[in-house]
Structure 1
């Protein structure tokens, strides 16, 4: 499929359903040197995951931005995340600049368990950050680390959500899984968390957390696709729960770091959707509400 065919297929998906477009809460834009390092990781991910992971949209930043716009993505994110101390503040400065020059990207920020984290998280919120990213696997830290307690408190008080990669897929980390997240929610019950990748492979356990905590949401990033279903299938017995949480499930793609076309991420949703209204909520309305995009938005 050519890229023009790709664009046409994605646009057909949402226009045929009379949607105003797509809201994608899980896309990656980063400083070039960081993105290059991420791509090198995926290029060598075969031994870790047991499968090759080609980057479908390995383009420069401007091309990737214009491609999302061509797809009809009305709002997206810049999921940035540190893997060491003294990196998050620098990434946040870059995120502020990126959001200023790309207004359809929701201002995204991040953090790391280190002294001063609550301070720079507060600064990012004051600067307009609408969403934060936490990557437990790559960062190799516990979300329940005491150094993050004030961070979670600040985010909870501000009502700003965090997309958190805390499931143990595609490979487990020392602190992945629902336990550490449950510990955080026990202390910060009003915290808004978007569990990335539907929490794979601990789908059931993270749906349980959504049952128990009103602020817990889940994004569909890579879930339900053929690529993931081959090794980490979503439990069939949990399919009815997708309808129960229709207003707390949000579309995410992982663009550009996906080993298949963007349309596949959307088609995968039709295989599990209980009805067309669920598709509308997940693909557009829930993300629009989270990121502050009204029907009259760009």
Structure 2
């Protein structure tokens, strides 16, 4: 039996037990991937080519099955993180994401961009049309976030207060423009940019904690951090946990669903085992994102 053949109850029970035990109405996951089928197949092929067993994709069901599983887990809001790897893709991806959000009302409408002529214009148009969150992937896109073609993009996001999830850390492998340096320069130019640093900036955790402390609109998402899989290659320095606790109001749950090599529950369990307190965990799993996105009251059902 494949993983996605298993009843949803098998996956959902430990997740629902954790959030209900905290008195939450569910959870909000700011880092989940939904994208056109042909694009998703290419993403999965990338992981397959890493070698057998290196990064097995656990949740390979169809779009409807994956959406229903998130709902069974109690995920009240999620995203459709998608990103172009070349110019000319972003507007097409944004159109797809807008349609997906229209037929999937619990998905926060997601958009993306690439350094290209017109990027500022179509970003502003997406915001005007209802985009709630953007995704920037410096590693896959292979672009410099300081590119002048992106200046209006960052400005539009900062002025509108629209969050952008940015993969700018060097994990799982570095790129020409990953690491804290390039994106720190973007923040210096746009200090009000509501950036969500994907994967807590792994493996440069300390440097991205520095940025979060310096800029009040910078958040961190937990995507795959603290799980056994990531701890093997990019362990979070335990000496930095007090800083993560102090930034609790700006730490958001992310998982990378469906492109993860472990059960969804592993991410939540890993966060709970940090033992940073019930209030911290309630904020990470639900309250912080609910405030950031206006996604609903922080109360038990």
1:26-175 matched pairs, under 5 angstroms: 26-46=31-51, 52-175=54-177
Partners of 1:198 and 1:217 lie apart in 2 by 9
Which of 282, 289, 294 does residue 287 from structure 1 map onto?
289
Say whether the 8 Å CA contact 2:287–2:298 is kept in structure 1.
no
- Give the one of 2, 10, 14 matched to 1:9: 14
Contact 2:25 2:298 survives alignment (8 Å): no
Unaligned runs of 5+ in 1: none
Unaligned runs of 5+ in 2: none
Root-mean-square deviation (CA, aligned residues, Å) is 1.5
- Aligned pair partner of 1:179 in 153, 178, 181: 181
Change (3 A) 1:261 1:76: same
Q: Normalising by structure 2, what TM-score?
A: 0.95
Q: Structure 1 residues 239 and 79, CA, compared in 2 at 3 Å: closer, same or farther?
A: same
Deviation at 1:293, TM superposition (A): 0.8
Q: How many residues align?
A: 295
User: Following superposition of structure 1 onto structure 2, how do residues 221-232 of structure 1 map, counting pairs within 5 Å?
Assistant: 221-232=223-234
Q: Following superposition, which runs of at least 4 residues in structure 1 exceed 2 angstroms of deviation? A: 1-4
* Separation of aligned partners in 2, 1:53 and 1:103: 30
Does 2:256 correspond to 1:251? no
Q: Secondary structure at the match of 1:278?
A: helix
1:164 is paired with a residue of what secondary structure? Answer: strand
1:271 Cα deviation after fit: 2.1
Counterparts in 2 of 1:203 and 1:296: CA distance versus 1, 3 Å: closer
Tell me how far apart the structure 2 counterparts of residues 137 and 273 of structure 1 sit (CA, whole Å): 32
Alignment partner of 1:194: what SS?
Answer: strand
2:274 to 255, 266, 272: 272
Aligned to 1:208: 210
Choose which of 236, 239, 258 in structure 2 pairs with 1:237: 239
1:191 maps onto 2:193 in alignment: yes
User: TM-score, normalized by length of structure 1?
Assistant: 0.96
Q: Aligned-pair distance for 1:296?
A: 8.4
CA distance in 2, matches of 1:158, 1:226: 37
